[in-house]
Amino acid sequence: MSPSRAHGVEQTTCCTSRGKYSVPYRNRGFTRTNTSRGPATISPGRANDTSNRVPGAPVIPRTKSGPSPQSDPYQNPPPSWFGPVSEWAVWYDLVVIRKLQPGVDFAYQAALPAAGLNMKGFNRADYWVFPWGKAGAGGATYPQGIVINPITPFTHPSRAKDILERIILGRNGFLEIFIEGRDLATRAHIVVGLALRGIDVSSRGTGFYG
């Protein structure tokens, strides 16, 4: 390989079985260009290396890349979904990731018979995971299964009421687990997995209830 200069940029000529071709030649982390084309630029990897820095060359800032909320399937329900995004995150994890079947392994927006909870004697759960389903939720301690309720300012504004509700449901054989909305926005798969194991890491009561 031999260096040459073309259009103000050093080139390196490479030889292969298919002939010769030229590629831009980069030396020590910066590209040397003709001054008529503007100042040279320091690569991010050499931003702190002043030994070979071209005087006056601007530094390219580092940028962090990662999935945007628009690309996260946990945070993008389909148009047919009319519930909160937090409830969709639980649905997506149960159905798409864990392969649970609605109506067989769990129920969404199901009425739970729970004596003493209110005047009507029942409570509507966001998710009721059946003990006889694939998840096997609840175990011997809670034979009616696990209730999963995402926390939103509109559906669960009172911590005291939620804790009382958990106690009453527990007397009726249900284990109620709450999940913070912020956790469903950042680590839904983890907190749903904990909920299925009977672990509540929300503000409604941290710890293992199974």
Strand-pairing partners, residue 150, are 179
d(CA 68, CA 72): 7
Least confident of 5-9, 26-30, 56-60, 123-127: 26-30
Question: What is the model's pLDDT at position 3?
Answer: 52
Question: What is the model's pLDDT at position 207?
Answer: 56
pLDDT at residue 147 greater than cutoff 50:
yes
Question: What is the model's pLDDT at position 115?
Answer: 74
pLDDT at residue 1 greater than cutoff 80:
no
Give the model confidence (pLDDT) of 10-61 as tens digits. 444 455 444 543 443 444 444 444 445 555 544 455 545 555 556 666 665 5
**Stated pTM of the model:** 0.64
d(CA 75, CA 65): 18
Look up residue 45 and give its amino acid: G
Return the sign of the alpha-carbon dihedral for residues 22, 28, 29, 34.
negative
CB within 8 Å of 71: residues ≥ 6 apart = none
Domain boundaries, the chain: 2-46, 69-208
Look up residue 175 and give its amino acid: L
Question: What is the model's pLDDT at position 31?
Answer: 45
Look up residue 152 and give its amino acid: T
